[in-house]
Amino acid sequence: MTVSFVYILGMAGTAAFAVSGALAASRKNMDIFGFVVLALMPAIGGGTVRDLVIGRTPVFWIDDNRYVAVAIIAALIVFFSSYKPGSRRRILIWMDAMGLALFAALGTEISLTHGTGPLVAVMLGVTTAVTGGMIRDIICNEIPLVLSSEIYATAAFAASVAYVVADKLGTPAQIALAIAVIAGFAVRALGIIYNWSLPSFGTKR
């Protein structure tokens, strides 16, 4: 039961990040295989790094090809859809926000289940969430969203910490996951809508 809820969240995050990658490909006028490659990077990149560092190999998408299939289908849907050029960046950012919140929560849950301490669990949650998008942006030669002044890593951090705290308080995993996803998405959404940001090094003085 918990497993299947986790599974659904994982698939939703995979699809959201795949759409963000495919939209990045569309902004670079790539061909259909470029769409697939760029959709797969954020969709499975972060979870791959997480599985590798905790030694959970073969990684999650090797034995269950539905992750790869979902990402490819999402890429094809974007390829055959039409978007006004101006709206693509906007949709990309919101899809990325959904993937970010989902993967931060899931990465933290998987890490704790695997027996790591809370500090490493938070770090792995953030890593799962930000790595894929970072690879996508680096390949596209764009400034990674994680580096932008808007709140980004902070949102992943909020989701991860929310999960760890909920878990310590004995909250069932499904509810803890829901709380974490909502917390992460809310923080990121506020960042996007109000162009909200934490004080940065430059604005301090």
Say whether residue 4 binds a copy of itself (CB under 8 A): no
CA angle 128, 59, 45 (to 5 degrees): 35
- Considering only residues 65 through 124, tell me which ones interact with a copy of itself, judged by CB under 8 A: 65, 68-69, 79, 82, 116-117, 119-120, 123
Say whether residue 147 binds a copy of itself (CB under 8 A): yes
Given 39, 43, 61, 164, the residue binding a copy of itself (CB under 8 A): 61
Distance CA 44, CA 67 (A): 8
Cβ proximity to a copy of itself: between 40 and 102 the closer is 40
Residues 6+ apart with CB under 8 A from 110: 50, 56, 124, 128
The size of the interface with a copy of itself (CB under 8 A), counted in residues, is: 59
Given 36, 110, 173, 176, the residue binding a copy of itself (CB under 8 A): 36
For 114-130, letters b (16+ CB in 10 Å) and e give eebebebbbbbbbbbbb
Distance CA 38, CA 135 (A): 9
Cβ proximity to a copy of itself: between 8 and 62 the closer is 62
- Considering only residues 158 through 177, tell me which ones interact with a copy of itself, judged by CB under 8 A: none
Say whether residue 59 binds a copy of itself (CB under 8 A): yes
Say whether residue 18 binds a copy of itself (CB under 8 A): no
Residue 40 backbone dihedrals phi, psi, to 5 degrees = -70, -35
* Options 3-11, 13-21, 27-35, 170-178: segment touching a copy of itself (CB under 8 A): 27-35
For 90-102, letters b (16+ CB in 10 Å) and e give eebbbbbbbbbbb
Tokens coding 110: 């998987």
Cβ-contact 165, 119 below 8 angstroms: no
DSSP state of 147: G
The residues binding a copy of itself (CB under 8 A) are 25-26, 28-37, 40, 48, 52-55, 57-59, 61-63, 65, 68-69, 79, 82, 116-117, 119-120, 123, 126, 130, 134, 138-141, 143-144, 146-147, 149, 151-154, 157, 197-203, 205
